[in-house]
Amino acid sequence: MTTPARKPTKATPARKAAPARKPLANKAASRIAGVVLDLDTLSKSDAFPDLKLPKVPFTFLTNGVSYELSDPRDSDWKQALQLASNPFLLMRTALVDADETIDDPTKEEIGASRERHGLTYDTPEPGSPQEELEKELWPDGPPPPALIDRFTASPLPTWKLNALFENWHAHYKIDLSSDKGILAALLGQQ
C-alpha cells in the first residue's frame, strides 16, 4: 500500500528540485567555478604532503594464506566510528578482495560465512524449521564463503592480532600511540 502524496500547504511548502550538477572535469574547471578544494582530483599524497606513504601494500601470512590490507585511511568516512570500535568490521573493510569466493572451504569457513550472514554456524537438519526459514531467507542457498571467512575461521590468538594491527598501522605511518586513537587515524587527523 502506498501513501498518497500530500498537497503542499503553507505549513509544508512544495520542495524545489535541486539543480543537477555536472562533475568538474579538471582542476582548471574547478578554479573557474570558484571551488576552493576539489576532492575529485585530490590525491592522498596531496592531502598528506609530509607523509612518506609506502610504495608496496601491507601483506601478511597466517595459516599458509597471504592477505593484503589497504590503508585504513581509505575507509569511507561514514564507517569511521563503527570501524574504530569494531576490529572485525575494520578487518572486513580493509581486507583486499574480502568478498571474493574461496575454493574448497573448510567446515569452519562455511560456519564463519553462515554466522556472518545471520545464520546458525551449523547447517540445519533437512526438514527442520531452521532449514525452512533459511530457504525463505536464501532461496538459492546462503552465499558461498569468501576470503573474509577464511581469515575469520583461522585460529589467531589476540596477541598475534594485536601484532598484526600494530604492524599494519606502522606500515601506513599511522601513529596509534598518541591520545587521538584509531578514530582520529581513520579520519586522517594525525
From the list 66, 120, 55, 73, the residue with the least C-alpha distance to 96 is 66
67-98 pLDDT per residue, tens: 999 998 888 888 877 887 888 888 889 999 99
- pLDDT grade for 148, boundaries at 50, 70 and 90: very high
Residue 143 banded pLDDT, cuts 50, 70, 90: very high
What are the residue boundaries of the structural domains of the chain, listed by start? 52-100+147-190, 104-145
Q: Across the chain, where does the E strand assignment appear? A: 58-62, 65-69
Can you give the length of the chain in residues?
Answer: 190
- Total Cβ atoms within 10 A of residue 90: 22
Q: pLDDT of 93-123, one tens digit each?
A: 999 999 999 999 999 999 999 999 988 999 9
